[in-house]
Amino acid sequence: MNQDLSIVSLIAHASLTVQLVIAALLLVSLASWSVIFSKLISLSRIKSSNEAFEQEFWSGKNLNDLFSAVSTKPDGAPLERIFASGMREFLKSRERRVTEAGALLDGARRAMRASFQRELDAMESNLSFLASVGSVSPYVGLFGTIWGIMHAFVGLSNVQQVTLATVAPGIAEALVATAIGLFAAIPAVLAYNRFARQIDRSAITLESFIEEFSNILQRNAAQAAPAGPAGR
């Protein structure tokens, strides 16, 4: 008799443990795809917003005016928040009559570094989940396969004449778990590697901006006027 060896049929006839493993892997795969699409959108938005702010920053706009415009934005780019944190600390130090250039610059740099770390943590959120899915899912699928093969051979102990037709369905049911484990792991690994590279490039952009803006603040820190920096 011809046996139905479709994926749905194999899962339906698998043991309860294998079915639970497959269900868990499918749920994890669905969650990882949700994270992947969310990261694709958020990192793309971060890149475009950073580029837009860089163009505005280097257009020669007055720093005080730029700070006022950035401070009113409810959800700005990471570069905008880093700029705002450094500028805010710089102006506060000026208001406290701090005139030493080193102290002015150190306070602004510390504020920008703290903001940079917050932005980096936000960009790296859920990356550890993708890494876990990519590394653990194949082993979970392998566990389901081993359990299914054990279950199949235990069932064959009650069969007097073992043929390929009697062995094949049980082995195929077990191998489905490994296939679904790889189905969950491969996209997660590829997405993790891509997002890690994108975040590294974004981190380099943020660090470069901190250094460039620090140079501007250093030049302005040498000025004695308490009104805050206005030039480049």
Q: What is the pLDDT along the chain (232 residues), one digit of tens a residue?
A: 445 556 676 767 677 888 888 899 999 999 999 999 999 999 999 999 999 999 999 988 888 888 888 887 777 889 999 999 999 998 888 888 766 777 778 888 999 999 999 999 999 999 999 999 999 999 999 988 888 788 777 766 666 665 555 666 667 777 888 889 999 999 999 999 999 999 999 999 999 999 999 988 888 776 644 444 555 5
The SS3 assignment for 123 reads helix
| Rounded alpha-carbon distances, angstroms, from residue 227 to 92, 98, 131 | 10, 12, 49
- In degrees rounded to 5, what are phi and psi of residue 30? -65, -40
**217 closest CA partner among 203, 226, 230:** 230
**Helix segments in the chain, DSSP class H:** 7-12, 16-57, 63-71, 78-95, 101-123, 127-156, 164-221
Residue with tokens 């936000």: 122
Determine the pLDDT at residue 224: 43
Number of other residues whose CB lies within 10 A of the CB of residue 101: 15
**130 closest CA partner among 33, 41, 203:** 33
Determine the pLDDT at residue 1: 44
The SS3 assignment for 230 reads coil
Global confidence as pTM: 0.80
Region for residue 179 given its phi and psi (left: phi exceeds 0; alpha: psi -120 to 50; beta: otherwise): alpha
Q: What is the DSSP string of 63-112?
A: HHHHHHHHHT-SS--HHHHHHHHHHHHHHHHHHTT---HHHHHHHHHHHH
CA distance 6 to 12: 10
